[in-house]
Amino acid sequence: MELNASLDFDRRHIWHPYTSMTDPLPAYPVESASGVRIRLADGRELIDGMSSWWCAIHGYNHRELNKAARVQLERTAHVMFGGLTHEPAIELARSLIDITPDGLQHVFFSDSGSVSVEVAIKMAIQYWGAMDRPEKHRLLTIRGGYHGDTFGAMSVCDPVTGMHERFRRVLPQHIFLERPRSRVDEPLSTEDAERIETALGKHHGELAAVILEPVVQGAGGMWFYSAEYVARVAELCAELDVLLIADEIATGFGRTGRLFACEHANVEPDIMCLGKALTGGYMSLAATLTNTRVARGISADGGVLMHGPTFMANPLACAVARKSIDLLQAGPWRSRVGDFESQLQRELGAFREHAAVRDVRVFGAIGVVQTHEPVPVADLQRVFVERDVWIRPFADLIYLMPPYIMGADDLACLTSAIGAGLDTL
């Protein structure tokens, strides 16, 4: 089909994420992608600053990941996980147990980050039910968080400023605290500490778990907060018998300069959610890990975890994920993330005095420019594409999460394009 006809069909029939069918945002047609570049159908190449929503940490068309997919494809692309098992799932679980905090010894595979959060919530609620504590069924979290688009995950996203506020009347009602004001490079403030201490002291009898994105809140606002806050939450959860869920879907696999963000606080959660970069961006796969306390508690007296996605532990995805982890561990990701952080601090920091800018935040391989007002997404994307870069802003945030293989010159092109975009606001 001719390109213009294909694009017209796309506009009329295909619903892209968070867009209107009557007034859709532009969708740029992709022909291929390699390294850190996305090649459009018209021949233009864009430097990707998004890692395809934070997952393509090794870049595109990676030779070793391609090989892992081809080898597994010759064996089997998929087989049900109910009553069957296979080497890719076993070896991936072994790798995940090896690299995550020591207590996380049990792995449940699913097919998306949102579902991994659903599974974590079910684990927490089922655990307390099995302990004959059904009153412990609510969750506590902080405002500004984002945990996914399915109903359980939406129930712990910010109910007022988040993208899911229109569903709040039909969602379970959980407990939300003001997000910590202590920034990532600051000690925990007395005010932040007192707020979480008071809330957990008041509600611990009804709480199944606290769920947090450790240190970095992602799509809910790109806010980086003190690791001491996470550490204090973990202490309180242990004291008051509340489970701790770490949502590491966006932060896992090195993005913050540690393999997992909870390491900044030296915290071992009861449950951890992983996704996004798990397969290096090749296909959808997620995992929820938990400790023996939770796993055996749910399983006591013949209990079973009530979840079972059709495509859980997909062999093709598991094989690629295992190779992605091997590549990450063998590569200089830590030094590259440190280099990104220094360059982003320097180059994005130059925009702090720009009239359109409210704040600039950098942590690990994440750089954020927050504007005073929401940005015109379609107009700003045109500016970026004209400068041969791919940056996808939202709300009042223009941010970068580049693939780890990106060089300094390409990263400079991205930061320069942000400056050009700010000049249009």
Helix ranges, 136-226 (H): 151-154, 190-203
Start-end of H helices in 59-131: 63-75, 87-99, 113-130
Q: Which of 48, 75, 69 is nearest to 59 (CA)?
A: 48
Question: Cα dihedral angle (123, 228, 402, 411), rounded to 10 degrees?
Answer: 180
- Dihedral (Cα; 159, 425, 381, 280), 10-degree rounding: -60
Given a contact cutoff of 8 angstroms between Cβ atoms, the answer to whether 405 and 59 are in contact is: yes
**Half-sphere exposure of residue 227: CA atoms within 13 angstroms, side-chain side:** 13
41 contact partners, CB below 8 Å, separation of at least 6:
3, 29, 30, 31
Query: Can you tell me the distance from the alpha carbon of 399 to that of 41, in angstroms, rounded to the nearest whole number?
Result: 25
As given in the structure block, the two tokens for residue 195 are 């707020």
Give strand pairing partners of 48.
Answer: 390
Q: Which amino acid is at 247?
A: D
- Cα torsion 217, 336, 109, 227 to 10°: value is -40
Cite the beta strand spans of 49-142 per DSSP E: 104-110, 138-142
In whole angstroms, give the CA distance from residue 317 to residue 306: 23
Active site residues: 18, 146, 247, 276
Q: What token pair was written down for 246?
A: 């770490």
How many CA atoms lie less than 13 Å away from 12 in the CB half-sphere? 6
